[in-house]
């Protein structure tokens, strides 16, 4: 009987160890998941800070050269790192143009605007961001009639420009139309009313 009791006692000790190891494993897994969530939140915060920095810098450049906004908009929405067109007087403009040896060179208003836009795009790219610019949506007022019909009235108001910074798989654009089946865009930041879509990674700033 004593030998039997001793065997049972040893078995109970082994089960206790196994239970303790299982509980420890669950705790470690939970802690690891919490750490991953914290790291992801920190990374997201850093990206948002960089995005705001890009947008604020672009907005200040636009305010400093308001006459060149259209050239700025065309360049920042383009894909080329060198712009040569009518707005630049057929002169090749890059992010390093209008400066030589640390001293400014003579450039037109539009050439400076293009240079500024290309500088913003390069800074955004260096920080894993995408940047774009679009006319801010018109002011839309919804009114529901007695019969339940929804009437939408649009008013143009001031011609405002919106800067958009995005990251991940979100594009720095507004959806061109309200149709959900619109396939002309990949993953727009916001709809035609500048309302963010669920799950997007972007910021919109009214700039000018």
- Higher-confidence position of 25 and 4: 25
The answer to the question of residue 54 being in a domain is: yes
Rounded Cα gap, residues 41 and 56, in angstroms? 23
Taking alpha carbons only, the member of 149, 173, 162, 167 closest to residue 206 is 162
Residue 121 in tokens = 């795009």
Task: Give the model's pLDDT for residue 166.
Answer: 94
| Displacement of CA 173 from its chain's centroid (Å) | 10
Q: Is this structure's pTM higher than 0.85? A: no
Are 118 and 95 a contacting pair, CB within 8 Å? yes
Burial class (CB in 10 A: 0-12, 13-18, 19+), 154: exposed
The answer to the question of residue 198 being in a domain is: yes
DSSP state of 181: T
What's the domain count of the chain?
Answer: 1
Pairing between strand 130-135 and 171-174?
unpaired
The answer to the question of residue 18 being in a domain is: no
Q: How confident is the model at residue 100 (pLDDT cuts 50, 70, 90)?
A: confident
Are 66 and 73 a contacting pair, CB within 8 Å? no
Are 83 and 75 a contacting pair, CB within 8 Å? yes
Q: Within 10 A of 57 (CB to CB), how many other CB atoms are there?
A: 16
Rounded Cα gap, residues 189 and 132, in angstroms? 11
Are 63 and 119 a contacting pair, CB within 8 Å? no
The answer to the question of residue 174 being in a domain is: yes
Task: Give the model's pLDDT for residue 29.
Answer: 76
CA–CA distances in Å: residue 59 to residues 94, 160, 206, 207: 19, 12, 9, 5
Q: Which domain holds residue 172?
A: 50-206
Q: Which residues pair with 155 in a beta bridge?
A: 139
Report pLDDT digits (tens) over 29-59. 777 777 777 666 677 888 889 999 999 999 9
Rounded Cα gap, residues 181 and 187, in angstroms? 12
Report pLDDT digits (tens) over 129-167. 999 999 887 766 666 777 777 666 655 555 788 999 999
CA–CA distances in Å: residue 148 to residues 142, 144, 154: 12, 6, 19
């Amino acid at each position: 009987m004593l030998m039997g009791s001793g065997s049972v006692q040893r078995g109970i000790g082994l089960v206790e160890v196994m239970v303790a190891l299982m509980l420890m494993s669950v705790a470690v897994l939970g802690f690891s998941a919490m750490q991953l969530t914290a790291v992801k939140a920190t990374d997201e915060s850093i990206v948002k800070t960089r995005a705001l920095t890009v947008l604020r810098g672009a907005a200040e450049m636009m305010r400093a050269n308001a006459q060149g906004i259209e050239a700025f908009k065309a360049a920042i929405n383009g894909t080329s790192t060198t712009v040569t067109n009518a707005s630049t007087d057929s002169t090749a403009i890059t992010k390093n143009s209008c400066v030589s040896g640390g001293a400014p060179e003579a450039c037109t208003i539009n050439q400076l605007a293009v240079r500024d836009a290309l500088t913003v795009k390069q800074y955004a790219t260096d920080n894993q961001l995408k940047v774009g610019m679009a006319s801010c949506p018109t002011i839309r007022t919804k009114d529901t009639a007695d019969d339940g019909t929804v009437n939408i009235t649009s008013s143009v108001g001031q011609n405002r420009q919106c800067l958009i910074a995005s990251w991940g798989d979100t594009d720095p654009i507004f959806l061109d139309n309200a149709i959900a089946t619109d396939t002309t865009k990949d993953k727009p930041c916001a709809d035609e009313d500048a309302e963010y879509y669920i799950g997007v990674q972007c910021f919109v700033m009214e700039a000018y």
